[in-house]
C-alpha cells in the first residue's frame, strides 16, 4: 500500500541539516503541484539527504528569487506556469533540449556559478510512451496544440525520425511552431481529420479534456484512424480523458499523461541529486492515489 502522507513506510522522516541538498519548484501559484510529493518520496527511497519544496514566487520577483536560491545553495529548481519564458531568459547555458524546444522547465545551478537550462518535457514524453511498449522511431505524428509542451514533444519526435504535423485552433501559433522547428508541418485545426489517416501517433497537448477546462470537440473521427494508431494525452487530471476513452472504444492503444510527469521529473532529479530515481509502478501509484483525494487540484 502506497503512503501519500509525509512519510514513507519503513523509513524515518528525513533529517534536515547543514548537508541537506535542496531543490524545489517555482510557480505562481504552486500549491497544486505534485512535484514535492514525488521528489521527496524519491529522496527517501534513494536514501538521499535532500529536500524538495514548493516555492510560490510572483512573476515580478522571479529573477530575484532564482538568484537568491542559487546563493543559498540550492541545487536547482523546476519551473512551472507562469515562469517558463523568464527561465529561458535567465540561464547562462542552454542545453540542446531547451534550445530545440524554446522553453526551460528545469534549472541547474552548476558548481561554476552558472545557471543551466533544460527542457525535460519532450524526452519525458518519449520515455513514457516507450515505457508503454511503443517504439518511437519513424512514422508520423499529429500533434494537437502549439504551446511549449507541443514544441518540446515535436523536437524530441523529430530527433527520432518522426514526421510531425501540428494543428492548433489558432493557426498563427501552429505556423510559429513550424517556423521554429524544421520538419514540422502546420495545418488548420479543421484539417486534422484529413491528416489523421496514415498517422502512427496522435498527441493531445491542449487542455481539452482536463478537469475544469472548457470542453471542445476534436475535429476528426477516430473511427477513420489507422488501427495501429497510438493515442496519447499529456493531460492527467483525469487520467482517462474523453479522448483516451474514445480511442479505447475504437480499439486503439492509449497512453495517459501521468507517466510523462514522472519521467520528465526523473531527469531533473538525477541532475540535482546525482542518482536516478526509481520510475515504476510505486511512484505512479503514489501520484494516482493523490489525484483521487478530494482536495486534488490541477496539473503538477
Active-site residue numbers? Answer: 84
Q: Which three cell numbers stand for residue 280?
A: 515504476
* C-alpha cell read off for 121: 518535457
**How would DSSP label each residue in 114-144?**
PEEEE--HHHHHHHHHHHTT---SSSEEEEE
For residues 253 and 199, the answer to whether their CB atoms sit within 8 Å is no
CA distance 112 to 22: 17
CA 188 to chain centre: 25
Q: 31-59 burial by CB neighbour count: b if 16+ within 10 A, else e?
A: eebbbbbbbbbbbbeeebebbbebbebee
Q: If we measure between CA atoms, which residue out of 260, 192, 263 comes closest to residue 229?
A: 192
Q: Are strands 76-79 and 106-109 parallel, antiparallel or unpaired?
A: antiparallel
Q: Residue with C-alpha cell 514533444?
A: 153
Grid cell of 284 as nine digits: 505512479
Cell of 266: 526523473
- Quote the longest CA-to-CA distance of the chain: 60
Separation between Cα atoms, residue 145 and residue 204, nearest integer Å: 7
Rounded to an integer, what distance in angstroms lies between the CA atom of residue 147 and that of residue 144? Answer: 10
Peptide bond between residue 226 and the one before it cis (omega within 30 degrees of 0):
no
Where is the binding site, in residues? 33-35, 80, 105, 121, 145-149, 168-173, 234, 236, 257, 264
Q: Which of 221, 187, 214, 218 is nearest to 204 (CA)?
A: 218
Amino acid at each position: 500500500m502506497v503512503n501519500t502522507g509525509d512519510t514513507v513506510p519503513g523509513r524515518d522522516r528525513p533529517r534536515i541539516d547543514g548537508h541537506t541538498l535542496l531543490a524545489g519548484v517555482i510557480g505562481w501559484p504552486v500549491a497544486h503541484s505534485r512535484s514535492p510529493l514525488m521528489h521527496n518520496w524519491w529522496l527517501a527511497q534513494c536514501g538521499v539527504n535532500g529536500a524538495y519544496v514548493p516555492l510560490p514566487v510572483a512573476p515580478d520577483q522571479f529573477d530575484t528569487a532564482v538568484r537568491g536560491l542559487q546563493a543559498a545553495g540550492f541545487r536547482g529548481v523546476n519551473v512551472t506556469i507562469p515562469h517558463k519564458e523568464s527561465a529561458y531568459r535567465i540561464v547562462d547555458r542552454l542545453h540542446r533540449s531547451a534550445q530545440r524546444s524554446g522553453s526551460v522547465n528545469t534549472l541547474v545551478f552548476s558548481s561554476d556559478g552558472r545557471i543551466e537550462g533544460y527542457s525535460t518535457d519532450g524526452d519525458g514524453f518519449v520515455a513514457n510512451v516507450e515505457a508503454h511498449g511503443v517504439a518511437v522511431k519513424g512514422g508520423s505524428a499529429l500533434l494537437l496544440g502549439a504551446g511549449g509542451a507541443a514544441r518540446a514533444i515535436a523536437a524530441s519526435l523529430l530527433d527520432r525520425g518522426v514526421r510531425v504535423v501540428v494543428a492548433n485552433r489558432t493557426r498563427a501559433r501552429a505556423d510559429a511552431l513550424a517556423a521554429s522547428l524544421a520538419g514540422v508541418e502546420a495545418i488548420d485545426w479543421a484539417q486534422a481529420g484529413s491528416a489523421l489517416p496514415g498517422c502512427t501517433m496522435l498527441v493531445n497537448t491542449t487542455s481539452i479534456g482536463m478537469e475544469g477546462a472548457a470542453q471542445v470537440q476534436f475535429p476528426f473521427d477516430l473511427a477513420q484512424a489507422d488501427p495501429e494508431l497510438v493515442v496519447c494525452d499529456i493531460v492527467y487530471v483525469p487520467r482517462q480523458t474523453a479522448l483516451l476513452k474514445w480511442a479505447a472504444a475504437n480499439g486503439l492503444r492509449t497512453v495517459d499523461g501521468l507517466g510523462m510527469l514522472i519521467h520528465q521529473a526523473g531527469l531533473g532529479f538525477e541532475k540535482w541529486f546525482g542518482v536516478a530515481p526509481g520510475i515504476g509502478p510505486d511512484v505512479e501509484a503514489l501520484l494516482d492515489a493523490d489525484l483521487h483525494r478530494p482536495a486534488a487540484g490541477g496539473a503538477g
